[in-house]
Amino acid sequence: MSALISPPGPGRAGHVVQRLLRSRLAAALATPHGVDRYLERFNPMWAAHEVRARVVSVHHETPDAGGNAPVATLTLQPTSTWRGHRAGQHVLVGVELPGSAKRHTRAFSISSAASAPGEQFTLTIRAHDEGQVSSYLVREAQPGTLLHLSQAQGEFTLVESPATPTISRLLFITGGSGITPAMSMLRTLLRDGYDGHAGRRVTFLHFARSPEDQIFATELAEIAAADNGVDVHLRHGDQLFSEFELRRLVPDYRDTDTWLCGPPGLVELVKAAYDDGEPNPRLRMEFFKPAVARAAQPGEQVEGEIAFTRSGATVAASGASLLEQAEEIGLQPEFGCRMGICFSCTRTKTAGTVRNILTGEESSLPDEEIRICVTAAAGDCHIDL
């Protein structure tokens, strides 16, 4: 049997195996658990639909005198189901934390140059004291650690390439960890031969708390010293953003394609410099929104009762996902990615109103198939579970 589900290779036989594993027949035979539940029993890196990755290496950035480093770059080898990414995109990362029965998911920007299907890529992550996932990945992840991934997401992406050259200047303004998607774009440009000829130039303006806190300092210094058409400007400590300095660096910045990613204070200052009475279409900004199951937002009242009809259990709707609410009362429904990707947790809502946590859309259709990991009750509802 293992020969039939061996990892798909680059040849024709591998493509045939992949098509077979992704077919409706395979899905029907694997019901209710899904093909990937069986594949991962043989090898966690085998998948027909889901995306997983194994940590290849961990490089700790900006260590202090005591060896502590709040930032780490993880090199990941994804499964063959990874479709690659465009420079500037992010990915949802799911981890099973020690001592927790749930999979926790957070979004992180990809820091490496654009990747092709199945290729390695990197995440550069800053550990936050209140961030369970970021702290785990920075401080505890090691080669061999298995992560669950979504496909790459987001439209904060690079539009310039050697295949679609322009004579326009490109401008990146970043602060703190907001440097990661911009570095993905810059690395892609340099890898693909962007050299500043024909009048094309890149201005890279970054703000960090201190020189010691500067991520990618060595690489940025090398880029700044090279003859590549890239102007690097690093600002530290009390060197705050000002419209006057921006105008000095890029006199026609309002007519320049600009990518902005950083803390709220920086974003607001830059937006004010660009708006000039109305939003500027040349300014692209990155904002992360929660993309996983969450509790109701402050002030949001959720009223209703969830009835899990097969088990006979009921619980008051809280705004959390149906999967989380089922687990809170001791039920153990099947699940996979906990991100709304793999469909392992699909159940039938026989009656009532629910809300998709990812899109905000509500539905009251009877006998509706829903993914309970990304669906919350928006009132009374009955779930066949």
With a cut of 70, say whether residue 271 has pLDDT above it. yes
- Could you tell me which of 229, 152, 219, 156 has the C-alpha nearest to residue 189? 229
pLDDT score at 368: 80
Q: Does 297 have pLDDT greater than 60?
A: no
* Nearest C-alpha neighbor of 18 from the set 48, 42, 45: 48
Mean pLDDT value of segment 311-334:
90
Q: Give every CB contact of residue 244 below 8 A, 6+ residues apart in sequence.
A: none
Q: Is the pLDDT of residue 25 over 50?
A: no
Residue showing tokens 């153990």: 332
Residue 6: the pLDDT is: 38
pLDDT of residue 167: 60
User: In the chain, where are the structural domains located?
Assistant: 1-48, 50-154, 170-285, 305-383
- Is pLDDT above 50 for 304? yes
The per-residue pLDDT for 372 is 93
Query: How many angstroms separate the CA atoms of 170 and 257, rounded?
Result: 5
In tens, the pLDDT along 103-119 reads 788 889 999 999 999 99
What is d(CA 293, CA 295) in angstroms, rounded to the nearest whole number? 7
- The reported pLDDT for the residue numbered 242 is 93
pLDDT band of 343, cuts 50, 70, 90: confident
Structure tokens at 96: 């099973």
More confident residue, 159 or 101: 159
**What integer best gives the mean pLDDT of the chain?**
81
- Provide the pLDDT confidence category of residue 208 given band limits of 50, 70 and 90: very high
Phi, psi of 30 (to 5 degrees): -90, -5
> In this predicted structure, which of 16-30, 236-250, 336-350 has the lowest mean pLDDT?
16-30
Q: Is the whole model's pTM more than 0.75, yes or no? A: no
How far is the C-alpha of 377 from the C-alpha of 352, rounded, in Å? 8
Residue 160, pLDDT score? 63
Tell me the pLDDT band of 334, cut-offs 50, 70 and 90. Answer: confident
In the predicted structure, residue 294 carries a pLDDT above the cut 80? no
**Residue pLDDT, tens place only, 39-62:** 555 556 565 568 899 999 999 998
Cα-atom radius of gyration of the chain, to the nearest Å? 23
Provide the percentage of residues in the chain whose pLDDT is more than 70.
Answer: 78
CATH class of 305-383: alpha beta
Distance CA 337, CA 362 (A): 22
Whether residue 140 has pLDDT greater than 80: yes
**What is the arithmetic mean of pLDDT over 133-140?**
93
| Other Cβ atoms closer than 10 A to 13 | 11
**CATH code, residues 50-154:** 2.40.30.10
State the Cα–Cα distance between residues 11 and 259, nearest whole angstrom. 40
Least confident of 24-38, 126-140, 185-199: 24-38
Encoded tokens for 49:
């639909």
Return the CATH fold of 170-285: Rossmann fold (3.40.50)
